C-alpha cells in the first residue's frame, strides 16, 4: 500500500535526522 510506504519512509527519515542531530549536537542530550 502506497500510504504505508510513505508513512514508513517519513518515520525512518525522522529517526535518522534525529539520530544525526543527536550525534552532531551531543551537549543537548
Per-residue pLDDT of the chain (29 residues; tens, 9 = 90+): 899 999 999 999 999 999 999 899 877 65
Domain around 14: 1-29
Distance between CA 14 and CA 20 in Å, rounded?
10
Give the SS3 label for residue 6.
helix
pLDDT at 25: 85
Give the SS3 label for residue 17.
helix
pLDDT at 1: 84
Q: pTM of the full predicted structure?
A: 0.61
pLDDT at 10: 98
Q: How many domains does the chain have?
A: 1
pLDDT at 27: 75
Amino acid at each position: 500500500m502506497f500510504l504505508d510506504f510513505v508513512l514508513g519512509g517519513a518515520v525512518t527519515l525522522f529517526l535518522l535526522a534525529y539520530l544525526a542531530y543527536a550525534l552532531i549536537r551531543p551537549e543537548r542530550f
